[in-house]
Amino acid sequence: MNLLDFFKNKKKCKHEKVSPQNDICYCQDCGELIENRWYIARCTCCGIKLKAILKDGQVVPEEKFCHNCGSTQFEAELIPKINCIDINYAVLVKTIIEPDFDEFTQSWLDRHEYQQLKLITQT
């Protein structure tokens, strides 16, 4: 095994082929289940929308302070469905959804004997 082969396998899929129009779909490159989540940044002081960007995996406002009140505090708000008004402020985060099921093994026992059915008598 080459040292270069070790670094080639460490590439992380960016899910570029996942369309932003779909809420949930599978990535064509890696096969993971991807959910598209839209976030906007809001000022905690006045509640105005701020243009959001993705920096180091976190949703932060593009400017360091609110242009309305000057506050530096903000909160990232998850938008359930994107609309044409929020598209200018929103940022898309593609999140991998892990399957939520328990793995278990199940076995069945087949009977090889024939039992005659009993009729229910009417009284």
Task: Print pLDDT tens along the chain (123 aa).
Answer: 566 655 665 578 888 889 989 899 999 988 899 999 999 999 999 999 999 999 988 999 999 999 999 999 999 999 988 999 999 999 999 999 987 766 666 666 666 666 666 667 776
Is 90 inside any structural domain?
yes
How many domains in the chain?
Answer: 1
Is 53 inside any structural domain?
yes
- The alpha helices in 1-123, defined as continuous H runs, are 3-8
**Over the range 52-75, which residues count as b (16 or more CB within 10 Å of their CB) and which as e?**
beeeeeebbbeeeebeeeeeeebe
Is 81 inside any structural domain?
yes
Is 10 inside any structural domain?
no
Q: How far apart are CA 89 and CA 91, in angstroms?
A: 7
Ramachandran class of 31: left when φ > 0, alpha when ψ lies in -120 to 50, beta otherwise: left
Is 21 inside any structural domain?
no
Give this prediction's pTM.
0.68
Is 27 inside any structural domain?
no
Tokens of 83: 């609309």
Is 33 inside any structural domain?
no
DSSP for residue 86:
G
Is 76 inside any structural domain?
yes
